[in-house]
Amino acid sequence: MSDNSLLNNNQTEPTNEDLPVDSAVAAGGVIADLAAIKKQAEDYLAGWQRAKADYANLKREQEAKYSDLIKYANEELLKELLPLVDYFKHALKAVPEVERGAAWIEGIRHIQSKLEQILAYYGVKEMEVIGEKFDPRLHEAVGEVENSEYDSGVIVEEVRTGFIYHDKVLQAARVKTAL
């Protein structure tokens, strides 16, 4: 006889009545284990969702930093060019009246204009300060002068041009205010 035939003849599969009383306790343990596994799966899912959100936030922050890096990459070079604007202004103010229409003066004005165009192209704007109220975030006071035309604390003279680069002060304007 084969082993299978012996099994079939001599033994039957156990039924629920044949299970020991302890099996109910074992079933409760399985349910408890299942609940623990379910809780662990929920914890893993919540952790994964937090990690995914953290990654999305980090990615957004990095993109913003990269955007700012690109936006302000030329800042140091532009700062080096800013004194040229004042040099041109002072040079053109010092030209004698008889020379003001000369071709070489017009050439200097064209160079000055081209410099201003380049600065504007890169987002640099010159501050208009005369007649404005002094603001320490935008201006650097270098003196006070008596002036009956303006109220006290109003800018009456610009010593050095101030510039804004996109949304921040690139160079504070040096100014004199009315007493």
Every domain of the chain and the residues it spans: 21-71, 75-178
pTM of the predicted protein model: 0.62
| 3-state secondary structure string across the chain | CCHHHHHHHHCCCCCHHHCCCHHHHHHHHHHHHHHHHHHHHHHHHHHHHHHHHHHHHHHHHHHHHHHHHHHCCCHHHHHHHHHHHHHHHHHHHCCCHHHCCCHHHHHHHHHHHHHHHHHHHCCEEECCCCCCECCCCCEEEEEEECCCCCCCCEEEEEEECCEEECCEEEECEEEEEEC
Distance of CA 91 to the CA centre of its chain: 39
> If you average pLDDT over every residue of the chain, what do you get?
87
Give the pLDDT of residue 28: 67
pLDDT tens digits along 59-109: 999 999 998 888 888 899 999 999 999 999 999 999 999 998 899 999 999
Residue 138 has pLDDT above 80, yes or no: yes
CATH class of 75-178: mainly beta
pLDDT in tens, 26-54: 666 788 889 999 999 999 999 999 999 99
